[in-house]
Amino acid sequence: MRIIEPHAHMASRTHQDYAAMAAAGIEVVIEPAFWQGTNKKHAGSHFDYFEHISNFEPIRAAEYGIQHFCCIGLNPKECQDKAVVDEVIEGMARWLDGPTCVAVGEIGFDQTDKVEEEVFIRQLLLAEERKMPVLIHTSHIDKRPSVERMVQIIDELGVTQQRILIDHNFEDTIELTLGLEVWAGLTVYPWTKLTPERAVNIIEQYGPDRMIVNGAPDWGYSDPLSVPKTAVEMRKRGFSPQKIHQVVWENPYNMFRQSDNFRIEGGPRA
């Protein structure tokens, strides 16, 4: 089975993880820029990090036969220092133009305050202007009202919804997300997000169209094998191989191929 892991913070993971992911069928990894546990105090720290996920991780991944792409953006946890924010957004074009960058992201909400909204909107419009896909993080604090506000903003701005992936949905946000024409991300992550069982319950209830599963493995207690484990759960529940393939390969493939940089050996079929 061919698998895309469309959200993994590999800069926080080891070579053993790459090896295990490859052995489990993961052929493609997409790494969004995110918060590394402490706030970066300088724009240059963001740029060095963008450089790392753009150029170094693809080399590590290739050692295990994995194709590695990245998303470049300013995440909501690092939106409050206006001087740094301005410098990063003004300077990020160099990495957005890079040959391995396939999206703007991850952008979104944490506290869902006015400052985050402004930075979110700036980057959404930047992606629209550049016709790039967008990976959106949803808050872990009061998720539903935060997603309501996000959906309202996306709708009002009139940006291209087919290029947007709203990630980390729960049972209580999936209908809001599917109410737009965006892709819906389900993150299988120990304790704070979904289990494979809960993710498959959602896929069972709403069908596999526009559903994209990821593990979002990072420096926390997380699992780089979440996507293959969810595929196993789908198989146990009697989903056809075609439906499983749609969720773990075709859907993320179709979302990210909207970037010209997303060139995959073998295309959308198994």
Instruction: Note the residues at the interface with Zn ion (CB under 5 A).
Output: 34, 216
Minimal distance, residue 152 CB to Zn ion, in Å: 23
Minimal distance, residue 242 CB to Zn ion, in Å: 29
Cβ-contact 133, 255 below 8 angstroms:
yes
**What SS3 state is found at 15?**
helix
Residue 138 or 259: the one with the smaller Cβ distance to Zn ion is: 138
Residue 242 CB contacts under 8 Å (≥ 6 apart), including other chains: none
Residue 34 or 95: the one with the smaller Cβ distance to Zn ion is: 34
Read off the DSSP letter of residue 179: T
Minimal distance, residue 226 CB to Zn ion, in Å: 12
Minimal distance, residue 99 CB to Zn ion, in Å: 22
Please, is 83 exposed, middle or buried when counting C-beta atoms within 10 Å of its C-beta (0-12, 13-18, 19+)?
Answer: exposed
Residue 103 or 244: the one with the smaller Cβ distance to Zn ion is: 103
Minimal distance, residue 212 CB to Zn ion, in Å: 13
Q: How far is the C-alpha of 26 from the C-alpha of 225, rounded, in Å?
A: 9
Residue 82 CB contacts under 8 Å (≥ 6 apart), including other chains: 115
Report in angstroms the alpha-carbon separations of 203 from 4, 44, 138, 145, 186: 17, 41, 19, 22, 9
The C-alpha R_g of the chain, in whole angstroms, comes to 17
Residue 53 or 85: the one with the smaller Cβ distance to Zn ion is: 53
Cβ-contact 101, 68 below 8 angstroms:
no
Residue 101 or 216: the one with the smaller Cβ distance to Zn ion is: 216
Residue 34 or 50: the one with the smaller Cβ distance to Zn ion is: 34
Minimal distance, residue 228 CB to Zn ion, in Å: 19
